[in-house]
Structure 1
Amino acid sequence: MTFSVAPATSVAGVTLPPGPASPGAARIVGISLGHATLAEADHWIGGLSPAPVLACTHLVSAPHPHVAISLLTALPFETTPELAPAASAAATGQSGRAVRFPGVERLTGELTVSEILQRSSISRIEVLGSGPADPDTVVDTGDFVRPQFRGGELVLVTTPAAGGRLIPFERRDPTPCCADH
């Protein structure tokens, strides 16, 4: 079962054609394969060829807690009937965690907030609990950037790090809670 929604004018900086999706046209497709973790879903997305323009993960609870995926793609994808509600929720969701998005491959190493905004479709960079990040502040990407998709735009949430730098809130290898106990 394939799910799609009518294209919007713009999704994360990618302009879509107006009207219903025609065969071969890019559209948002929801997929639910029952991935148990974000890492499993990220790995599956990373193996897609051709890579989708936009790929987001979505935590869903029905029929059981798992990670569903939405893709901006021209390719069809299948979802088993029991996971169809999760696929539909992913396709029509107004939020998600972006794994693939325009410019992601250019967000490596240390970049200023301004450079990240210029090189990618990320619309804003926020400091957790503090508001917008200063354009001249350096962000150590750790070569792993997962902005949040919120209402049609990508927002990268960061936290302060040593040396006045910022790091993305989500890290590739986070320190487990209570790791030092």
Structure 2
Amino acid sequence: MTAPHDPSGVHPVIGVDAGTATLREADHLIRDLTTTLALPPGTVACTHLIRTDARRGTAVSLELPDGGAAEEAWRRLTETELGAALHDRRHGPSEAAALAAAEHTARRSGRAVLYAGVERLTGRVTVADLLETAIDQLTVVGAPLATPDPTTPVLTQNHVRPEWREGRLVLALVPAVGNTLAPFEVPNPTPCCADHSDQPRHAAGNS
């Protein structure tokens, strides 16, 4: 597995809230932040469902590889109107951002969009290829105790979204045609963004 995560959770995590409502919007936000914050290699970005009295929607979390990268991202965020949280620091409407950061830091939940090796998960890959990325564990819906053969083909549709579960990045798979597997969450582009193959039709639950 490449670039393993530090299980102690010492990498700094920034939560960001742009008022997004859906996972699709949160995915787009992560893509935008990758550019506007100049996120460095090694960043892990996740989406989170937020359900509080004050907020119903989504927020994102950014795990930076080191303190210097986190400080630079924080500086850029404070120049915007986005809500943000880093440790005990807050900027703008930050409740949802702080919740997202806390969940990611504890590895309790979070749907990973950006992580080590994701760029290689396009088209048809194998189970072994999935486990050469930051993904720690695979589960097959309907057969939770089964271990997929490493050579089993996986039809990614260029959309692979593992989730944090009890400290591990876990990807749910389902059986597909021709003795293959596919990610449980599948893309569903709309006419306005059909060129983005990473749009979810449904997703496994996350925070």
2:18 pairs, out of 24, 27, 33, with 33
How far has the Cα of 1:83 moved from its partner? 3.8
CA contact (8 A) 1:57 1:69 kept: yes
Distance 1:88 1:18 in 2: 16
Runs of 4+ in 1 over 6 A off after TM superposition: 16-19
How far has the Cα of 1:60 moved from its partner? 0.6
Which 5+ residue runs of structure 2 have no aligned equivalent? 65-69, 85-90, 189-199, 203-207
2:120 paired residue number? 106
* Count of residue pairs the alignment pairs up: 158
Deviations 1:127-167 (A, max 9, x none): 11312433221111111111111233211101111101011
2:138 paired residue number? 125
Distance 2:184 2:39 in 1: 25
1:97 pairs, out of 111, 128, 151, with 111
Which 5+ residue runs of structure 1 have no aligned equivalent? 1-11, 20-25, 177-181
2:129 paired residue number? 115
Flag the structure with higher strand content.
1
Tell me, yes or no, if structure 1 residue 14 matches structure 2 residue 29.
no
CA contact (8 A) 1:13 1:153 kept: no
TM-score under structure 1 normalisation?
Answer: 0.78
Tell me, yes or no, if structure 1 residue 61 matches structure 2 residue 61.
no
Tell me, yes or no, if structure 1 residue 172 matches structure 2 residue 177.
no
TM-score under structure 2 normalisation?
Answer: 0.68
Letter in 2 for 1:114: A
How far has the Cα of 1:39 moved from its partner? 0.9
Secondary structure of the residue aligned to 2:173 is strand
